[in-house]
Amino acid sequence: MSQQPMPEPIQDTSRGLHATSQLIAHARSELGRVISGQGEAIEEVLMALMCQGHALLEGVPGIAKTLMVKATGRLLGLGFQRVQATPDLMPADILGTTLLRPGVDGFTFHPGPVFTDLLLVDEINRMPPRTQAALLECMEERQVTTDGARRPLPPWFTVFATQNPVDFEGTYPLPEAQLDRFLLKIRVAYPTEAEELQILERHHAGSGAGPLEEAAIAPIPAGMLAAARAEVRSIRIEPELYGYILAVARRTREWPMLLLGASPRAALNLMRVAQATAAFDGRNYLVPDDVKRAVPPVLRHRMLLKPEAELEGFDADRVLADVVAAVPVPRQ
């Protein structure tokens, strides 16, 4: 990898990020009135939308995963649908079905919950493989094919799926092909003691209508999300950082503790999320720390550890930290 000094960044580091900075500031203010803490998880949810990718949220029940996605939809002025995955859920339950209209010689397609902007699939690993496969087309092609007809999904269509990390009874683990379709795997942790105290106080002081209704979130202006997406895509990347991103991704493929490393799609996603990370820091250019910050949520669900690594107590995040530490950082 080239060790030549990188060009000096431009002085106005936030130039061209007007919509992004306004959206981020508005989101932090409005969502903070609904959700106590979870700042990192909320940022990663917004990053997924800015990068036009899907996200897998992993955490125990009762820590505001559903509320987080629903509140984000209100903030961005997007439609929201929720599907509770169960072992008997059929593809038609989420895609829609064609029904004979009474008294009319014809059929009508009744769209399922996937025809929305934000689709929350609760406990996706309880969904049977056949239904998982049906959702895969929606996530990759952003369309539904029924009765030989292709029906495009809304342009903002994004899947947020939740998964319980401790309860595996009666579940169907997601195949690697479907996991690779998720841009991010977001880990939602327990709130701190102070944040949990704030939750209790808010609920006690509320009217009982629920934090989302009581907060009355003000949506962003029309067109701001589209403008923010365009600004994130335009974040400047120096040639040395292309090499750094590829070096991290390719190093995972030869790492001794991994059976499966990052795919070319993963490297592309790493670049996109690193751009969003730079935007959240108010910069219109990429630095190596943006790539390092993006590595865990982008790659943790794409790694397959060897059995001996798991027996030694390693997990994906720990292995990825070792991989990043082993890759030389380009000089600035």
Q: Which of 63-72, 99-108, 135-144 shows the lowest per-residue confidence on average (mean pLDDT)?
A: 99-108
- How does DSSP assign 264-284, residue by residue? HHHHHHHHHHHHHHHHHTT-S
Is beta strand 143-146 parallel, antiparallel or unpaired with respect to 118-122? unpaired
Would the pLDDT of 253 be above 80? yes
**What is residue 271's predicted lDDT score, i.e. its pLDDT?**
96
**What is residue 250's predicted lDDT score, i.e. its pLDDT?**
94
**What is residue 186's predicted lDDT score, i.e. its pLDDT?**
95
Question: What's the pLDDT tens digit per position in 288-332?
Answer: 999 999 999 999 999 988 898 888 888 899 999 999 999 999 876
| Rama region for 127: left / alpha / beta (φ>0; ψ in -120 to 50; rest) | beta
**What is residue 205's predicted lDDT score, i.e. its pLDDT?**
78
Give the Cα separation of 309 and 316 in Å (integer). Answer: 10
Average pLDDT over residues 201-230: 81
Residues 252/255/258/261 CA torsion (nearest 10 deg): 20
Question: What's the pLDDT tens digit per position in 44-99?
Answer: 999 999 999 999 999 888 888 888 999 999 999 999 999 999 999 999 999 998 88
What are the two backbone dihedrals, phi and then psi, of residue 263, each rounded to the nearest 5 degrees? -85, 170
Count, residues in the chain: 332
Give the Cα separation of 237 and 287 in Å (integer). Answer: 8
What the chain holds in terms of domains, given with CATH numbers, is: 1-14+234-332 (1.10.8.80), 17-87+115-233 (3.40.50.300)
Average pLDDT over residues 185-194: 91
**What is residue 212's predicted lDDT score, i.e. its pLDDT?**
74
- How does DSSP assign 72-88, residue by residue? HHHHHT--EEEEE--TT
CB atoms under 10 Å from CB of 129, counted, come to 12
Q: What pTM was computed for the model?
A: 0.88
Single out the residue of 177, 161, 176 nearest to residue 54, CA to CA. Answer: 161
Would the pLDDT of 7 be above 50? no
